[in-house]
Amino acid sequence: MNRLYKILQEDPVLGKDIAMFGIAVKNTPRQAEAYRAGFRVPFPVFSDESGIVYEAAGKPSYPSLLMATTSGRVLLRHEGMIRDYYEIIKEIRKIHESERAGGTDR
């Protein structure tokens, strides 16, 4: 995910419009921070100690990538390791362009 974050941040359009963060399912805030520091994760990692976010997301497998609007509408769901980052970025760009053209969650 660090690689995806770097690609997004370096993109002049996506880097301004997309925020990326991690959810540490069933982890305390201290465990989430230890994970972020240990793996040198450059984006925020939030604790979901109760699992409420995980439940709301439909209990995805680990790791998972969800792209959602600020109102919570899921636009992209990818479960498992990302094998082709450029294919995912291509998909994100397509969704982003579509949302900018006529999306309702701004």
Could you tell me the CA-to-CA distances from 76 to 26, 31, 37, 69, 88 in Å, in that order? 23, 27, 27, 10, 10
CATH code of residue 82: 3.40.30.10
> What is the number of other CB atoms lying within 10 angstroms of the CB of residue 48?
19
Decide if 94 is inside a domain: yes
Decide if 17 is inside a domain: yes
DSSP result, 44-77? -EEEETT-HHHHHTT-PPSSEEEEE-TT--EEEE
Decide if 105 is inside a domain: no
Q: Quote the domain boundaries for residue 84.
A: 2-98
Domain count, the chain: 1
pLDDT in the model for residue 106:
46
Q: What is the pLDDT along the chain (106 residues), one digit of tens a residue?
A: 999 999 999 999 999 999 999 999 999 999 999 999 999 999 999 999 999 999 998 999 989 999 988 888 889 999 999 999 989 999 999 999 999 888 655 4
